[in-house]
């Protein structure tokens, strides 16, 4: 049964909130009521029976006659839903530390909160008036009893969390410590262990940790592992930070076949794939192909043969205006416990490092559950490609870890990505 919910319009600009008076109480205009200006919707906040639509007005002046958001909480004539919605829009602030030892990072397993049962970076919420660098040192000492030295800010990230109409801003620092044993906060931390970055990424569910670990990986020189590249990247090119689309190959760009694509003659571009990828290129996305290539992992074809196949692919895509920045392939045996064979995120880490890709603005597109898992691990958005039969086959896995979009083919995937840009 569809729930009949009340819809409200939360209009705000430069800290001023538009309200209407109703029997002595100031409230949001309801969705069915006209407002004296045009608005652009910017988000939705779910409060059960009440749906609050966030909107920015199209005005040519600063409306000082509206309510200043900071004054609303002290007024007794303002509707409670208004106060609740305004409170929810205030960002929460956390500070976390990526404590590094060699190529490993120290992570803690949480006993409570959003990360309960998962691994996280040590850290927590800022106290009132507390700078983030001071907060992270205090939190680390409280959680694991360690004295740390900060080595710099990895990044400042913001994200919503499932089921909550709030956003949190996270400050993630790189740090080091001389401590080798830790005193865990009994009611909060279950364990503390060192992990390589690629393993830490799959053990956490915290988007700040994922994005921070990707940025940490960029700083390792040389990187802790290597993958096979086709060699398209110009040496020494400095990329500005920007979005990328990571594409699986077989079943997404070209037609798969029994026994693998083992010769250039086997390679057949899927209809519409070059044009779809060209559209992403024109939109400013850096295109990277990330492929396990089991045929090479099983030693069924040599690397030189794979290169010939990829030369044919590059040529076919370029004819439609699609530019591939680089192709990344796992060079290890299929049964090896390597960092890069999807669902492990090593191929995407290498691409994010080379292309200076912002994982929060990037996408992973693939026809396997392992593609979705690898994309999620670096904090990218994901598209699962497959017809109705394939979706049904993997329905249980997709429900357990849903992608951001489902698509019949790469054309639909590109349309979904461009629609959310």
Are the CB atoms for 208 and 159 separated by under 8 Å?
A: yes
- Exposed, middle or buried by CB within 10 Å (0-12, 13-18, 19+), for 201? buried
Active-site position among 248, 354, 367, 371: 248
Active-site position among 250, 354, 358, 409: 250
Nearest 5°: the CA angle 347, 349, 351 is: 70
Residue 399's alpha-carbon distances to 175, 227, 403, in angstroms, are 37, 31, 9
Are the CB atoms for 188 and 228 separated by under 8 Å?
A: no
CB atoms within 10 A of CB 232: 15
Are the CB atoms for 9 and 29 separated by under 8 Å?
A: yes
CA distance 67 to 69: 6
Active site (annotated) includes residue 250: yes
For residue 303, give every residue at least 6 positions away whose Cβ sits within 8 Å of its Cβ, in sequence order, or none.
Answer: 228, 296, 331
Return the structure tokens found at 376: 């999620």
Q: What are phi and psi of 406, to 5 degrees?
A: -115, 145
- Catalytic residue ranges: 248, 250
């Amino acid at each position: 049964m569809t729930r009949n919910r009340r819809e409200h319009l939360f209009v705000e600009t430069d800290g001023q909130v538009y309200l209407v008076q109703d029997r002595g109480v100031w409230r949001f205009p309801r969705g069915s009521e006209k407002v004296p200006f045009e608005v652009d919707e910017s988000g939705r906040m779910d409060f059960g029976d009440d749906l609050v639509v966030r909107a920015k007005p199209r005005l040519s002046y600063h409306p000082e006659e509206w309510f200043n958001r900071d004054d609303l909480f002290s007024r007794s004539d303002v509707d409670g839903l208004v106060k609740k919605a305004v409170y929810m829009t205030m960002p929460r602030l956390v500070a976390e530390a990526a404590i590094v030892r060699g190529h490993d990072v120290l992570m803690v397993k949480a006993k409570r909160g959003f990360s309960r049962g998962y691994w996280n970076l040590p850290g927590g919420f800022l106290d009132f008036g507390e700078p983030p660098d001071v907060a992270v040192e205090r939190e680390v000492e409280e959680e694991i009893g360690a004295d740390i030295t900060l080595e710099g800010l990895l990044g400042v990230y913001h994200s919503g969390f499932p089921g909550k109409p709030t956003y949190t801003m996270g400050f993630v620092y790189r740090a080091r410590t001389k401590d080798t044993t830790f005193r865990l906060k009994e009611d909060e931390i279950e364990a503390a262990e060192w992990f390589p970055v690629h393993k830490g990424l799959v053990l956490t569910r915290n988007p700040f940790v994922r994005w921070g670990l990707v940025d940490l990986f960029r700083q390792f020189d040389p990187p802790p592992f290597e993958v096979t590249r086709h060699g398209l990247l110009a040496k020494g090119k400095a990329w500005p930070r920007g979005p990328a689309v990571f594409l699986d190959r077989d079943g997404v760009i070209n037609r798969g076949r029994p026994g693998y694509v083992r010769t250039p003659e086997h390679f057949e571009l899927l209809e519409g794939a070059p044009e779809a990828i060209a559209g992403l290129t024109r939109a400013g996305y850096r295109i990277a192909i990330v492929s396990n290539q089991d045929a090479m992992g099983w030693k069924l074809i040599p690397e030189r043969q794979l290169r010939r196949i990829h030369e044919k692919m590059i040529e076919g895509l370029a004819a439609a205006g699609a530019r591939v920045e680089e192709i990344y392939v796992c060079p290890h045996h299929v049964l090896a416990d390597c960092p890069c064979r999807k669902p492990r995120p090593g191929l995407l880490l290498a691409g994010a490092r080379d292309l200076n890709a912002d994982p929060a603005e990037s996408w992973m597109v693939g026809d396997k559950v392992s593609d979705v898992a690898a994309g999620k691990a670096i904090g990218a958005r994901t598209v699962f490609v497959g017809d109705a039969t394939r979706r049904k086959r993997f329905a249980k896995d997709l429900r357990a870890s849903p992608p951001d979009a489902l698509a019949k083919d790469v054309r639909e995937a590109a349309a979904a990505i461009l629609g959310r840009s």
